[in-house]
Structure 1
Amino acid sequence: MSRAVLQLWGWPLAIFLVSATGLASALVADGWGDAWSWFALAVPVAVSGWCAWPRRPRQQSTERR
């Protein structure tokens, strides 16, 4: 893959892979698979919440360094 494609699609692809393994684990596994599916399916929710969280703009410093 080219560097530009990986920079653009790297994180969405990683989130997809974690979510897909979580869905498959929830359907077929038991025990540790349940724990993995909970974690894996919480990752997209946590990432979405982090991205949607409002942030304050940075204060411009008047001092020179």
Structure 2
Amino acid sequence: MRPRQSSFWKVFGMPLGIGLLSAGGLFAALLGDGVWDSLSWVGLGIPAAIAVWALL
């Protein structure tokens, strides 16, 4: 019987998504004020919330 093979996206999909969200939040923080501040809060808050959830 062959062992199950995991695909690239199953292994690295979530970490890649969290990294892209963090990078987008940091980039939005550099762009300006107003709506960009809100986007940066969301882009950096979601990965922080995921980390807190994982620790609990």
Q: Place the TM-score, normalised by the shorter chain, in its bin.
A: 0.7 to 0.9
Alignment partner of 1:16 out of 6, 19, 22: 19
Structure 2: gaps spanning 5 or more residues = 1-5
Alpha-carbon offset, residue 14 of structure 1? 0.6
Structure 1: gaps spanning 5 or more residues = 54-65
Give the number of the structure whose alpha-carbon radius of gyration is greater. Answer: 1
Whole-Å separation in 2 of the counterparts to 1:33 and 1:25: 5
User: Which residue is 2:30 aligned to?
Assistant: 27
Where does 1:1-65 land on structure 2 (aligned, <5 Å)? 4-53=7-56
Using the size of structure 1 for normalisation, the TM-score is 0.72
Q: CA RMSD in A?
A: 1.2
Q: How many residues align?
A: 51
| TM-superposition CA deviations, 1:4-58 (whole Å, max 9, x none) | 11000000111111111110010113211100101110111101111111xxxxx
**Structure 1 segments of 4+ aligned residues over 3 angstroms from their partners:** none
